Structure 1
């Protein structure tokens, strides 16, 4: 066998740099490429490479870690040394024999002199006791009490006095004083109820009484910030969970997911992407592989959505460290990102996290950092309205402008959160972003990935993942403008409901990858929720599917308890379990994360006022113009609404129905012909709540109206909710509809009419039952 250095790849297996010469050590990290020849074949053997904790010379460090301290913290190194010594002494018989032999020699050497030493000490003590003359004790009146009154500047306060304990450590009755825990406590989740192993070997802990009971309430008061986050705490959170389809099962899963993310957070507040991989790390994963910033911002969002902030909540320490780390990465131009290929992905998500943290806490330092991040977003927005992987003003962008609609989706959420917490956003930037999604959203609901190609990826690539991105962004930016395309996107999503099996489908190519991913699930869940305000048959179908898949596939044991494995074949291999877990938790927090963010009537002011510049005294009073009232305005329950806006008309119908009951039916029926699809949908749902049988014929006619196909599921659900059994033939006919979502909605409506009876898609069974139960 002959050892010979032979190169089998063009990259170093340690630092990933290109090898300059075949068979030579790497010119950066000096890692040897050693191989063996056996029977004429090349067999790889492990080279003697440098330890990962050794700091290489700066010129020899990989580019991603150059100039950074890669040593482990002192505490971790001490633990490793202790473990190593323990393994040596515990597992080595030779060392144990040597230690015992040495102890025996020492005992023999001093054994014959021990008795003499003890006797000598005892004799000395006895002589001293005999030699000492007795002294009479002083009488109490003879004792002079010195003046111990301290000076004023030396006064000892009561809280400075330390009393000697009666029970010392080591006593069986000794109780150690409470220690301050530097990390946020884990959620107090109740122990799981036992179940037969054959049916349920692992179960989530029960959240206890009430929704969200598995996690301690962070505060009894609503969070600071605007009404956008008002459902994240307290009674409003429990009400939102009940109203929008959540439950104790979803909250238990959220608690476990947050506990996993809290355990895996680095001491500096960030999350290392390499810690999220199961088994062996990918070959390209070195240092933080460029995704630490984006992943840290992403992992911070679930804690904020659960009601935690840097100064309140069971995970306030985790949020504080994460936000401080993000702020420490912000440069003078406002950018919160590494200068690498994921710069704007990192910055957009980080801006969203900073805005939410400011809205939840009101901390002025966080607010200033968030505002600078928003200004950087405004300056780097391309002429086409979006952002690419790199910001153009930094000099790192490409020469040809490219607008990535996936990155721009995070930008839309960041802009919306900024406006909600009182940070101004230039209207030109907002409109330019809205125009971008207008140009690249198709009438069938699909959204293009980008407006220009990059490498081998077509700019016009589209898929089910981008459908959710487009739906969420358009709903946030201008729901009325994109109403028809939003409902078309909803229909596409309902045709491709979440399925764990679909995540594992292989990628055909970079041009046609597997778009079924946690990323797509996150945007699909958020988009359908916002479009339907968390109610209606479309939301119920999507919510049932996403809950089923996520609750069934969360890890419930081991070191990754609470995590979701990143099994999606497109993004999962790049980002690991932190990515999949953070997005899964956000999907299960959708019920209370945002409060109807897309409605014009939901724009609210921040609780915390921004600091204003000091004004000179004795300024003349300026007459302020009275606010203009809308031409087609109406005041109801103390709220002034502009009926020229679709969002205001929808709110008007909800308030009117609540106030007048069945007396509002004529107005509701009138709005079934409204030009806005969302207003017609609101009128239908309010008619269903009132169980207004007088509107049955009008609602039934909408089933075949081409203009109402976008809200066909809502029409079907309303017929079932009203409870008029004479419409059952129309619903039975829909059981054979080619779209599965329509079949599901028809079955649900028939079950409501039949008081819970269920015959699936068996038309004859339904017809027979209704003929006998008119």
Structure 2
């Protein structure tokens, strides 16, 4: 298929006739000029300054009303109905109740960039006060500083260095709680209904955890892969700002970390199954999938908390394993060191990018470069906007979405011709529909289109994707399944069942704040949102 450039040069503006104005001044004396022009100007200027001085004195004695961060954010919202009930309590699914999760981040901590510039975050994401206990062994019993799992060190392919974020945490995750979350949610096009769907799904997901062990189990053909199931189930909680550490209560005395125990148990399970070389036992035969998802969970948990005692070593070792497992052609296979395909590459790149955003983990640039070379080989056409499995013959829209997200993480910006053309294909051919419910495709395509922003996101993709997921969520009246999504008809539904489908649907509804855009434009999208509505 031939590729056409979708960004032609704009037509030149029509040239108008030159206009020359000749102004002739009347002759007048210096005395007349003083009386007619200068004296009146002095009088007007003097009067203005007297009035301004009086107003300044009066206003200076007045105390300006205090405006809460949420009030300031609400003023920028175009559609009031879409914002009612925002910041819902993650464990309360009664529509219309005010949030019990207070804004913990002031608006001025919304960063202009999420990579390529250091950001000094003094505390972990989601909290402006000191954590009650930074000793993670209290939350993850037996996996504190004395653990020999994933020994910390500065040797190997990944070492302590100058990752994209500064301070503690990930700049790319600063939108997961507080005022930054509110602003990201509103700017991106989320609403009260989408957050209610998230709250309901998290409740269902929490109930599916095997509390005695801390893990989750797929209900598809990959039932034995508890590493992948546990890691994938942790991601939506992390995306919602929930961590394994105990956070102080908000100003109203309410808990700010409703699912602390759930996340702590899940992380403990992963750490207990990590081998000395950084890989994980208990994964399926296609274990590089499982390994990458587990690495994403560890990096995100570390990035959100800065918990060096418990998570830094294991996260580093998991990333080192991925770097060493890359095949000569730049791809990853089902097992370490073997050549693979675009789908497997997608999860490895997500893991490497999560690590690269952390202050204390540096990913070799060569790993991204080699992956880009593989993507070049499986990309179709000069614009490289569609991707195949192991060759440049595209077969499914999901693979193209995977390829484009990888391109975004390895250097393409939102205005790259290939990115523009790829998003255009989504709009023309592969829009979200109930008859083609493919969460693997929707998970990737939503991230790509969200990062792309513009009219394609705000007017086309997001409203359809968001509302489709809200509509298809199982109603709360179903005691056992309420809050989940039925298994899709694609790869995720077959292998991962209801659990995997629900996890990806959740992450898709959390896209507004899960990762802030790598390339910031106009106030986190607020101006763009107002322009296209």
Which TM-score bucket, shorter chain as reference? 0.5 to 0.7
Question: Aligned equivalents of 2:90 and 2:511: distance in 1?
Answer: 20
Higher relative contact order (Cα pairs below 8 Å, separated by 6+ residues): 2
Q: Which residue pairs with 2:378 in the alignment?
A: 440
Residue 217 and residue 414 in structure 1: after superposition, are their counterparts in 2 closer, same or farther (change >3 A)?
farther
Offset at 1:337?
Answer: 4.6
Pairing partner for 1:427 from 365, 368, 382: 365
Offset at 1:187?
Answer: 3.6
Question: Aligned equivalents of 1:441 and 1:226: distance in 2?
Answer: 31
Q: Does the alignment pair 1:258 with 2:202? A: yes
Is the CA contact (8 Å cut-off) linking 1:402 and 1:450 kept in structure 2? no
Residue 247 and residue 339 in structure 1: after superposition, are their counterparts in 2 closer, same or farther (change >3 A)?
closer
Within a 5 Å distance, the mapping from 1:620-659 to structure 2 comes to 654=522
Within a 5 Å distance, the mapping from 1:147-296 to structure 2 comes to 187-189=90-92, 191=94, 206-209=95-98, 213=99, 216-217=101-102, 222-223=125-126, 225-267=169-211, 268-274=213-219, 289-296=223-230
Q: Does the alignment pair 1:580 with 2:496? A: no
Q: Which residue pairs with 2:445 in the alignment?
A: 524
Q: Give deviations 1:721-743, integer Å, cap 9, x for gaps.
A: 5xxxxxxxxxxxxxxxxxxxxxx
Is the CA contact (8 Å cut-off) linking 2:194 and 2:466 kept in structure 1? yes
Offset at 1:539?
Answer: 4.1
Is the CA contact (8 Å cut-off) linking 1:207 and 1:251 kept in structure 2? no
Offset at 1:480?
Answer: 4.3
Q: Which residue pairs with 1:374 in the alignment?
A: 319
Q: Give deviations 1:388-447, integer Å, cap 9, x for gaps.
A: 11112xxxxxxxx42211111111111111111120111211211122222222236211
Q: Does the alignment pair 1:565 with 2:499? A: no
Within a 5 Å distance, the mapping from 1:576-725 to structure 2 comes to 576-597=497-518, 599=519, 654=522, 721=531
Q: Give deviations 1:271-318, integer Å, cap 9, x for gaps.
A: 1123xx6xxxxxxx5xx7432211211111000000011114111111
Is the CA contact (8 Å cut-off) linking 2:169 and 2:302 kept in structure 1? yes
Q: Does the alignment pair 1:327 with 2:212? A: no
Offset at 1:217?
Answer: 4.6
Residue 266 and residue 384 in structure 1: after superposition, are their counterparts in 2 closer, same or farther (change >3 A)?
same
Is the CA contact (8 Å cut-off) linking 1:218 and 1:307 kept in structure 2? no
Q: Which residue pairs with 1:542 in the alignment?
A: 461
Q: Give deviations 1:698-724, integer Å, cap 9, x for gaps.
A: xxxxxxxxxxxxxxxx9xx99xx5xxx
Question: Aligned equivalents of 1:190 and 1:416: distance in 2?
Answer: 33
Q: Which residue pairs with 1:508 in the alignment?
A: none
Q: Which residue pairs with 2:9 in the alignment?
A: none
Q: Which residue pairs with 2:335 in the alignment?
A: 390
SS of the equivalent of 2:435 reads: helix
- Superposed CA RMSD in Å reads 2.7
Q: Give deviations 1:649-705, integer Å, cap 9, x for gaps.
A: xx6xx59xxxxxxxxxxxxxxxxxxxxxxxxxx9xx99xx6xxxxxxxxxxxxxxxx
SS of the equivalent of 1:273 reads: coil
TM-score, length-scaled by structure 2: 0.64
Q: Give deviations 1:177-230, integer Å, cap 9, x for gaps.
A: xxxxxxxxx944253xxxxxxxxxxxxxx1434xxx3x6359567435021111
Could you tell me which runs of 5 or more consecutive residues in structure 1 were left unpaired when the two chains were aligned: 1-185, 192-205, 278-284, 393-400, 452-458, 504-516, 603-650, 656-681, 690-713, 722-747, 753-774
Question: Aligned equivalents of 2:240 and 2:390: distance in 1?
Answer: 33
Q: Give deviations 1:594-634, integer Å, cap 9, x for gaps.
A: 1113x3xx8xxxxxxxxxxxxxxxxxxxxxxxxxxxxxxxx
Q: Which residue pairs with 2:420 in the alignment?
A: 487
Is the CA contact (8 Å cut-off) linking 1:351 and 1:374 kept in structure 2? yes
Is the CA contact (8 Å cut-off) linking 1:253 and 1:551 kept in structure 2? yes
Offset at 1:483?
Answer: 1.5
Q: Which residue pairs with 1:405 in the alignment?
A: 342
TM-score, length-scaled by structure 1: 0.45
Question: Aligned equivalents of 2:304 and 2:294: distance in 1?
Answer: 15
Residue 570 and residue 419 in structure 1: after superposition, are their counterparts in 2 closer, same or farther (change >3 A)?
closer
